[in-house]
């Protein structure tokens, strides 16, 4: 058991190393990459793999692809709160700014039990209408996130019904040029149909509980072409009757160029598995091709 | 919870101080862009950027640069509430038959930002000019 755990950790380290190398490669060589959007406007990568903020999927599709381009991106994020830590790495592809597909691997460290929970998420998003910057009305997209929990024992012990499920969401985003004292203002509102407990890391559903529509929202101000500051909110279900709290964060994102972004945030995840007041930090790096 | 309150307070203080800064000077966008000279310099640098750009130069290869320069200066002047009236053709007529791709239009916006950067146009002023120009994209691309 210890051996396999050790192996998994080594594998994860290896993956992080590969991704970090890829990102460095992108930064240091002049790879001709998709560049058809304004700097910073695609946003970053949320913890379930979709383009978005840190915790909310946005209507924007990942990367800088415009209607004539294809882009790829990869990212790793770490969230560290008092008794838990989430490591996630993923990849995204954007086809002609119409379809986004994504894949993310999550590893969730439960410090009090000295164990890791693992989940894979396959996502797809379709832009239905508009352009974040250029259209009169907000950009609208719909998406799914199909989640497979690989370590279901704890989830079932806590009362979850399923170890695999699919979230559906509809997202709308708009960037208002010069809206706040000349600074660009971005907002996103998403509605998610879900029964995932702590994103799915504690399984799906609970006794007598059904899927429900939950609200997620983000807002940011771009202080320059390169720096965005903002905050997010994500409503959560409480299917396991453990007092699962809504999530919040306040973030700063840095976009030095169209090849890389770095995001840092302060996060408040509330109660996780009945352990209260889980606050801490989030750090994420995305590389774009 | 206290940390988040402090951070929110910082965000809002930053924003409100920006608001009071911008209301202090009640210049028109035209004046903030540097008036006639400012706009001429921006347009000249933009033409220079286009001339050196492999991606979109082909759209302009056959254009009468003097005519294009005058039209763009007049357009920027009029759109930023300056003392000009735009007398050129409308955007749809100019671009019909050019089949301007979205990628290339968005690239032109990047070049315009470069040109404004070269002229030290403040970030907030840049955004206000972009906000005036953005609604025109639908009349320009894929025509």
Tens of pLDDT, residue by residue over A140-173, are 999 999 999 999 999 999 999 999 999 999 999 9
Chain B closest-CA separation from residue A180 CA (Å): 7
Q: What is the ipTM of this complex?
A: 0.86
| CA distance linking residue A191 with residue A142, whole number of Å | 10
Type and span of the H or E element at A138 = none
pLDDT at B9: 55
Partner-chain contact A181 B128, CB within 8 Å: no
**Cβ-contact B139, B40 below 8 angstroms:** no
Across the interface, whether the CB atoms of B102 and A181 are under 8 A apart is answered no
Domains of chain A: 2-288 (2.40.160.40)
Average pLDDT over residues A28-38: 72
pLDDT tens digit string along A82-114? 999 999 999 999 999 999 999 999 999 999 999
Q: How far apart are CA B13 and CA A241, in angstroms?
A: 39
Which residue ranges make up each domain of chain B?
A: 27-140
Is B6 an interface residue toward A (CB < 8 Å)?
Answer: no
Nearest to A268 among B4, B22, B122 (CB): B4
Cβ-count burial A274-288 (b if 16+ within 10 Å, e if not): ebeebbbebebbbbb
Q: In a structure prediction context, what are the per-residue pLDDT tens digits for chain B, which is 143 residues long?
A: 565 555 555 555 555 444 445 445 579 999 999 999 999 999 999 999 999 999 999 999 989 999 999 999 999 999 999 999 999 999 999 999 999 999 999 999 999 999 999 999 999 999 999 999 999 999 999 99
| Dist CA A41 CA A64 (whole Å) | 8
Give the nearest chain B residue to A96 (CA atoms): B103
Count of alpha carbons within 13 Å of A169, Cβ hemisphere only?
32
What is the fold of B27-140? Globin-like (1.10.490)
Regarding predicted confidence, which is higher, A13 or B143?
A: B143
Helices within chain B (DSSP H only): 2-24, 29-32, 35-51, 57-60, 65-79, 91-95, 102-118, 123-133, 137-140
Q: Which helix (H) or strand (E) holds A16?
A: helix A2-28
Residue A273 has pLDDT above 90, yes or no: yes
- Give the C-alpha separation, A214 to A235, whole Å: 6
**A209 token code pair:** 């509980």
Contact A250 B7 (CB under 8 A): yes
Task: Report B:40-79 residues touching A (Cβ under 8 A).
Answer: none
Q: Under an 8 A CB cutoff, do A181 and B8 touch?
A: no
**Minimal Cβ distance to B127: which of A182, A231, A266:** A182
If you search the block for the tokens 């995305």, which residue do you land on? A286
Preferred mutation among A182, A186, A249, A251 to probe B, highest tally of B CBs within 10 A: A182
H/E element holding A239? Answer: none
């Amino acid at each position: 058991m210890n051996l396999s755990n050790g192996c998994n950790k080594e594998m994860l380290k290896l993956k992080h190393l590969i991704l970090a190398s890829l990102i460095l490669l992108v930064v240091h060589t002049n790879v001709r990459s998709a560049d058809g959007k304004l700097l910073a406007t695609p946003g970053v990568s949320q913890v379930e793999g979709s383009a978005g903020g840190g915790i909310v999927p946005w209507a924007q599709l990942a990367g800088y692809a415009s209607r004539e381009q294809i882009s790829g991106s990869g990212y790793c994020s770490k969230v560290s709160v008092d008794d838990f830590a989430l490591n996630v790495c993923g990849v995204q592809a954007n086809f002609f700014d119409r379809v986004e597909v994504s894949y993310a691997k999550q590893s969730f460290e439960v410090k009090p039990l000295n164990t890791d929970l693992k989940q894979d998420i396959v996502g797809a998003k379709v832009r239905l209408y508009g352009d974040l910057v250029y259209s009169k009305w907000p950009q609208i997209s719909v998406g799914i996130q199909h989640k497979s929990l690989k370590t279901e024992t704890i989830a079932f012990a806590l009362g979850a019904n399923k170890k695999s499920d699919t979230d559906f969401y509809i997202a709308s985003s708009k960037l208002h040029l010069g809206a706040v004292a000349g600074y660009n203002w971005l907002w996103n509102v998403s509605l998610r149909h879900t029964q995932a407990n702590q994103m799915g890391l504690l399984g799906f559903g609970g006794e007598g509980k059904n899927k429900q529509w939950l609200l997620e929202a983000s807002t940011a101000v771009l202080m320059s072409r390169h720096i965005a500051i903002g905050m997010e909110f994500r409503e959560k279900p409480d299917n396991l009757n453990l007092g699962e709290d809504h999530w919040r964060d306040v973030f700063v994102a840095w976009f030095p160029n169209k090849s890389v972004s770095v995001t840092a945030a302060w996060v408040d995840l509330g109660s996780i598995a009945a352990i209260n007041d889980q606050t801490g930090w989030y750090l994420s790096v995305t590389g774009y091709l | 919870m206290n940390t988040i309150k402090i951070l929110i307070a910082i965000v809002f203080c930053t924003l409100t101080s920006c608001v009071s800064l911008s209301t202090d000077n009640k210049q028109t966008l035209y004046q903030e862009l540097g008036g006639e000279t400012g706009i001429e310099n921006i347009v000249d640098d933009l033409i220079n950027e286009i001339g050196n750009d492999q991606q979109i130069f082909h759209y302009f290869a056959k254009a009468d640069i003097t005519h294009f320069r005058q039209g763009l200066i007049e357009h920027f002047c009029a759109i930023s509430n300056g003392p000009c009236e735009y007398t050129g053709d409308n955007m749809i007529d100019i671009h019909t038959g050019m089949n301007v791709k979205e990628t290339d239009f968005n690239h032109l916006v990047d070049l315009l930002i470069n040109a404004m950067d070269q002229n030290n146009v403040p970030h907030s002023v840049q955004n206000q000019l972009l906000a005036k120009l953005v609604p025109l994209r639908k009349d320009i691309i894929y025509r």
